[in-house]
Structure 1
């Protein structure tokens, strides 16, 4: 691909807030997807909004998705005290909307569901008013693991589809498109009051009709919130970028999702699953519709 277009260029992380957020995270011994996945929005989220997306259950993933910068391999034992440390960092950062994700832990019988649930409990123990968004792996399709997470009472349950069905064998070869959508549908059935969220990347070689099919599948699975962003290649060993979508094309995808009936669609070059998560949720609750964040 040609060089990265101007609309994908971001500023270098700096400033007092950025380094204060990093200090707090380090002091609690925590990982973030912001750093491990090389998120392009880290300067804005840490430096401007003083927020981060916590990554629990270690920093080594049992899968090796072709798009992801997170280290893959054999994880170490998980830390039973991690949920309390996450809660402590959230309190110190004074967050009112916390996003928690994790590496895949296929080595664990429950996929890490118990730690997700305990993290919710520890956060609520310190501050019951915090809104909690969980972005989980697929738990290998385990409905018991899913129930453990949903019963903990997150405000938003999220699991990313990432790409169209055809590309799963090359992009998410250890995952399954049908299993992932089944997880989202089951989560909504377990607790209809929980907002269901998913996210996809574009630029991996998908066709427009395939994206439309994915959006229809999302609607039928009960997805309330959908994010669409540009895939950015972490290194040369990762999947190639086949296309850079123009901001106008992201606007078209947003309109497509809206026409199909998905309640909230956030589509833009730098949109990621947890991008502006607190603002999005707040506007959803108070205004009923907002999908203009780019």
Structure 2
């Protein structure tokens, strides 16, 4: 089955820090706000336990989520999960689209995955917990995200963001070994392998996932990548393709932001200056990778 990417999410421990995080991505990455989920007297009565902005970096939706309302109280399941997950270089996971949720459930069940359904949401989504996917939670969703412009096949990003982003090229996941990653992504999930190459941080095996690429990363002993695979797990980075890497780097340096990596190849804002996220920018297209950018409208028609 094909599962196009809906969004990438991560957690913030305290809702007081969410406005600054959102502002950073709007200001530096040119992110556009598709929708905001906020605690109001009405939504609090309904039990809302979080606040979040649905941000579009180009045509990729990213969502920093913070506990709020009931979620601010200790013992609230979602609030506790967000507080546990709120750490530098730790992400929640990916949401993937499936028009037929029953067929998707059967597909994952047939491959041995346990699925979790939140009470009352059985018709809308299910979760594949992070312990089954190298620390990356998968959320398989049937419904569209509110006010998501990508539902319109004619919609395109403005193309005026300051970094010249063309689209999401890959999602990187730390792995204890490429053999373990290959057993999961290629053998169990049946995502075609696109090739293996060496990156500065470690060995990378790439797998086609719907409309983007999963990069499984194996680090050398005692490396930051190996430590992540052991102690943090899950998503390690995002990679966006840009039109002009030198121009993007110059813009970021002009903002006084520290960069890591190689401008001629792949570089990023240092995570400690980017709210704990490692987001690479590159002008290069690895051999075999699909064209960067969301294909959500092509893969998934209107929710039924």
TM-score (normalizing by structure 2): 0.31
| Greater relative CO (CA pairs within 8 A, separation 6+) | 2
Higher helix fraction (1 or 2): 1
TM-score (normalizing by structure 1): 0.32
